[in-house]
Structure 1
Amino acid sequence: MSLVEPPSAVADAADGATRWVTDGPYDLHQTLGILLRSNSDPSIAVHPDGWWMAFSTVDGPVTLRLVQGPPEVSGAQVIDAQAWGPGAASALDNLSALLGEGDSWSDFDAGTSPSGTPFPTPLPHHVLEARRRNKGLRLPSTGRIVDSLVPTILEQKVTVIEARRGYRYLVKRYGSVAPGPAPEGLLVAPSPTDWLAVPSWEWHKAGVGPQRSATVMRALRSAVALERLALLPSAEASAKLQTIPGVGQWTAAEVLQRTHGCSDSIAVGDYHLAKFVGFALTGQRTDDAGMLALLEPWRGHRQRVVRLLGLTGARAPRFGARMSIQDHRGH
């Protein structure tokens, strides 16, 4: 995989542009899909003309457009990137990590752990088949801790619908317009300073309870230190995240899946995940301990296995109580 200079027509249309080329399979939608917080995510827009993303960098805000072209005759896959705004150069410098260049599946495909030890239990046929059909999947690394941490905290112990509704409200209220010729409505999420300025009644209007809003506030008072975690190995970054009161194993795992492309990060404590993994691997639902036991033979690649299970089409039966959507905004 490599970055090469794009055609001049592409470069002239933006503050910065480049082309990312890989000689193997690649799927932009599968790779970046984990970053999308619903189809109405205010900071990501997926259109026929590409993926549009707005976010903050150390140099300022940026709008990034990514387009996957048809495979070249050689089989190479091409992603063209254009960027607008003060953060254009910074965003393009991090492009290969965002697109998953550092995520190697070679050990997984060889049936070994990252240390080279053979799997004690072979992967199930349907997982191998999902991998065969989805060779273009990569695990992205955004390197942006705050942008991942805030919406993840908002998803703690509530339905995804409720959490994403609140996140959408707050970004629209306190975010900023994306630079350049961005799609209408595309926004840069609030900076740590802007998040810290959100008054209590606005959290309430967003349906975010005081426990979650307080966790966001505690975390972002050390925003500079938080962003440095992107430079640490996944295990160390996870441990440091969990020193923040209100940030536990589930939250840290969800963050690192996006910021570090962590191939072994498992969201223990997720309301549905253990049941799904149990059903997908054994036909029976299980709990967190059972899920970890089932995935243990593939330690080092457990997140890869979970992602592939999601691509098998398996769905756990829905029985029993479901988490209800609550709305306290009118109270």
Structure 2
Amino acid sequence: MIIRTLAVPAGYRLDVSLGGLPFGRHDPCARWVAGTFWWAARTPAGPGTLALRQDAGAVAATAYGPGAPWLRERADAVAGLRDDVTGFADVAAGHPLVRGLARRYAALRLPATGLVFPRLLRAVLEQKVTGKEAYLAYAATVRHFGAPAPGPQPLLLPPDPAAVAAEPYWTFHRFGVEQRRATTLLRAAALADRLQSAGPADAARRLRAVPGIGPWTVAEVRHTVYGDADAVSVGDYHLKNIVAYALAGEPRATDDRMLELLAPFAGHRGRVCALLLRAGHGAPRWGPRQPVRSFARF
């Protein structure tokens, strides 16, 4: 067990900053327990678990397992404490809603996990399905491949990409994943080591070359793995409408229109999107909900 104390800026809040890291309240790999954030990870140094808790103006980081030294060094980035908000107040001032959100959520910092494959796994499973379908597929995949994480919490480690890459695509049918996403996941898993060792720009270039991975998946990885405050998830089913309705009162928009509206916030476009989502902004919904489908018998 390795312990580190992290200094935090005035007004910082761990719960606000890390709210999006777990995939729902029952993520097998990450969760909040009595005010402490627990995160299981396969690090380059081995499996480990990181516990983060904010008390008295600081964050206590406790790491367990063979990956503990790596997690200790990365703890401040995971907590969002490497996030540079310089200049955001100036660009936010140009729009009254964003200016208000910047003040309301001044405690928010963007985490940077530094681990590519866990976020890539989740992003591929989220492609073009409902949130419920994506979570069920993610949880089933983790439980199939996952092993117990070090430490006192009953968490599972994310799947080993080598084990994922070794499976035939139809293995994932019983997890609710059709051939298209399953094949994309297998391709990504086969490249996981090279992606992990690459820098942000090189990793994005390599990802874009993988069939089945487009700008949405790349942006999701850049945003969470590297803390890229400018990454915008182009191709998201809802985001373009959320941005257009919040910033311009337009209930429907294209990705090009979304990027046009976000242009004044260059350098922090992804941060603006994160604030809108954190505040619960949405666009009017028309038509029926998408059905939850099952591929378990395919």
Normalised-by-shorter TM-score class: over 0.9
Are 1:263 and 2:229 matched, yes or no? yes
RMSD: 1.6
1:25 alignment partner in structure 2: 11
1:147 corresponds to 2:113:
no
Who is 2:157 aligned against? 188
Is the Cα contact below 8 Å between 1:130 and 1:311 reproduced in 2? no
Query: C-alpha deviations, 1:120-167, integer Å up to 9, x for none?
Result: xx5321211111121111111111011110111111111111011011
Deviation at 1:321, TM superposition (A): 4.2
Q: Which moved more, 1:21-30 or 1:244-253?
A: 21-30
Would you say the 8 A contact 1:127–1:312 is kept in 2? no
State the TM-score, normalized to the length of structure 2.
0.94
**CA offset digits 1:41-94 (Å, max 9, x no partner):** 110021114011111111211111111113xxxxxx211111111111111011
- SS state of the match for residue 190, structure 1? coil
**1:94 has 2:80 as partner:** no
1:278 aligned residue: 244
- Give matches, 1:207-286, under 5 Å: 207-229=176-198, 232-233=199-200, 235-285=201-251, 286=253
* Separation of aligned partners in 2, 1:109 and 1:242: 32
Contact 1:16 1:92 in 2 (8 A): yes
1:173 corresponds in structure 2 to: 144
Paired positions, count: 297
Matched, 1:78 2:58: yes
Helix, strand or coil: the match of 2:63?
strand
CA contact (8 A) 2:170 2:179 kept: no
Q: Deviation string for 1:215-250 (max 9, x for gaps)? A: 111122122111023xx24x4432331011111100
Counterpart residue type for residue 319 of structure 1? W
1:177-206 deviation per Cα after TM superposition (whole angstroms, max 9, x unaligned): 011211x3x100111112123344430100
1:299 aligned onto 2:272 = no
Aligned counterparts of 1:158 and 1:135: Cα–Cα separation in 2:
32
Is 1:45–1:53's contact at 8 Å kept on the other side of the alignment?
A: yes
Instruction: Kindly indicate whether the alpha-carbon contact (under 8 Å) linking 2:46 and 2:66 is maintained by their aligned counterparts in 1.
Output: yes
Contact 1:146 1:227 in 2 (8 A): yes
Amino acid in structure 2 at the alignment position of 1:83: A
CA distance in 2, matches of 1:311, 1:37: 14
**CA distance in structure 1 between the partners assigned to 2:213 and 2:273 by the alignment:** 22
Q: Is the 8 A contact 1:59 1:90 kept in 2?
A: yes
Residue aligned with 1:54, SS: strand
SS in 2 for 1:35: coil
Aligned match of 1:110: 90
What whole-Å deviation, never above 9, does each CA across 1:239-280 have from its counterpart, x for those lacking one? 331011111100000111100111111111101111111111
d(CA) in 1 for partners of 2:171 and 2:61? 36
The CA distance in 2 between the partners of 1:255 and 1:127, in whole Å, is 24
- What secondary structure, in the 3-state scheme, does the structure 2 residue paired with 1:177 have? coil
Is the Cα contact below 8 Å between 1:141 and 1:259 reproduced in 2?
yes
Structure 1: how far apart are the matches of 2:293 and 2:280?
29
Is the contact between residue 169 and residue 183 of structure 2 (CA under 8 Å) also seen in structure 1?
no
Same amino acid, percent of matched pairs: 37
Q: 1:158 is matched by which residue type in structure 2? A: V
Structure 1's unaligned 5+ residue stretches are 1-14, 71-76, 112-118
Partner of 2:29: 43
Larger Rg computed on CA atoms: 1
List gaps (5 residues or longer) in structure 2.
none
